[in-house]
Structure 1
Amino acid sequence: MTILGAVLAGGRATRFGRDKALARIGDTTLLEHALASLSPHVDALVVVGRADAPVAVTPDLPHADLGPLGGIAGALAYARQRGHTSVLTTACDTPNLPDALVTALVAQEAAYAAEAPTVGHWPVRLLEPLLARLASGESRSIRRWAMGAGVVAVMPGITVPNVNTVDDLEALVDSVITSSPT
């Protein structure tokens, strides 16, 4: 069993106002933080929905602008083509993942973080049902799709830092600075 780590990075960042993946905490971009958070837990890495990244890239499927489900579909297709059995996802605006959350996710065949559904563990077998969902025009909510696909929510009440606005980034930077040893 091998796990592909995938950072979902195909969003428009309309609330943020610029490319979130390239926003920085210190000298490191949010994208680099997200990749680093996955790296210890996976066998390979990919960025979904971007043309360039410090690792391999792949497009959203079946096309761009489908939200995170399009990114998950792109990651699942990439994983299947390369022989991985599952994908561990996070978003480019989620700079770190608690180890306990990752452990809870990969302990399940199919699971997502109850409070952050872009963070999930998805078996490759879900690719066809997900593509069918996207083609149907039904809701593109990760939670709604996951419930119908038998994917379980884990660790309700546990939140992970997420950057949607410039204020979110500034608050995260401030928390890193205040928690750093002097």
Structure 2
Amino acid sequence: LVAALTAGGRSRRFGSDKALARLEGRTLLSHVAASLAGCPLRLLVAPPGRYALPGWLPVPDTRPGEGPLGALEAALLAAEGHAGPSWVAFAGVDLPRLTPAYWALLAGARAPGVRSVLALDAAGRAQPLGALYHTALRPHVTALLDTGERRLRLAAHDAVTVPWEAVAQVSPQALFNVNTPADLAALEMGSSQ
């Protein structure tokens, strides 16, 4: 797997730079990065010079302001350029409870003809952030962006989903999304999911 961590958002709902918010003494950025540390190639899609993660290759967001879909396009392009056709584990700082076991679970769901692997949350919704995307999806993602589309969930094509029950067994808080300071406080208090 090629790791791709996006940290280019404006953090509007959070009110300050979410990537640098602290949870248990570490930044959200470092929590998510730790879940992907075992990947041989690690890409950080963020504005140039904004963050430094040792061992992570900075990748400029080729379409700033286009959200996670634009970051996914940049990650797929960079992954293909550095590793050829490959699977990209795509995450954002919103998900600080991702774990290596979570990524292994998704990786185990890859199959011939599948181009994206998404986990289902407790409500049965496929989660496009914290998912695997094959570099073969890059033209599809580019076409979406070229038409003005910004919804990341539309990137999932030829997808397979991993049931919530399987996710909960290996990483029950993996899909807890931190969008606001209240979300972060809830996570710190252990009151998530």
Gaps of 5+ in 2: 122-126, 168-173
Query: How do 1:8-87 and structure 2 match up within 5 A?
Result: 8-40=6-38, 42-51=39-48, 52-54=51-53, 55-61=56-62, 63-84=63-84, 85-87=86-88
The superposition leaves residues 124-173 of structure 1 with CA deviations (integer Å, 9 ceiling, x where unpaired) of 111112111110124x2222331xx2122322465622210001111212
Q: Hey, what's the Cα distance between the residues in 2 that align with 1:129 and 1:103?
A: 25
CA distance in 2, matches of 1:26, 1:98: 15
Q: Is the 8 A contact 2:4 2:91 kept in 1?
A: yes
**CA distance in structure 1 between the aligned counterparts of 2:188 and 2:92, rounded to whole angstroms:** 18
Sequence identity percentage:
34
Q: TM-score, normalised by structure 2?
A: 0.79
Q: Does residue 124 of structure 1 match 2:135?
A: yes
1:57 CA displacement:
1.5
- Deviation per CA, 1:35-93: give whole Å up to 9, x if none: 001113x21212112323213211223x1111111111111111011015121011112
Q: Aligned partners of 1:75, 1:161: CA distance in 2, in Å? A: 23
The aligned counterpart of 1:166 is 181
Asked if 2 retains the 8 angstrom alpha-carbon contact of 1:20 and 1:92, the reply is yes
Quick check: 1:34–1:91 contact (8 Å CA) kept in 2? Answer: yes
Contact 1:37 1:97 in 2 (8 A): yes
**Partner of residue 154 from structure 2, selected from 138, 144, 160:** 144
Task: In structure 1, list runs of 5 or more residues that go unmatched.
Answer: 177-182
**Residue 17 of structure 1: how far off its partner (Å):** 0.3
Secondary structure of the 1:127 match is: helix
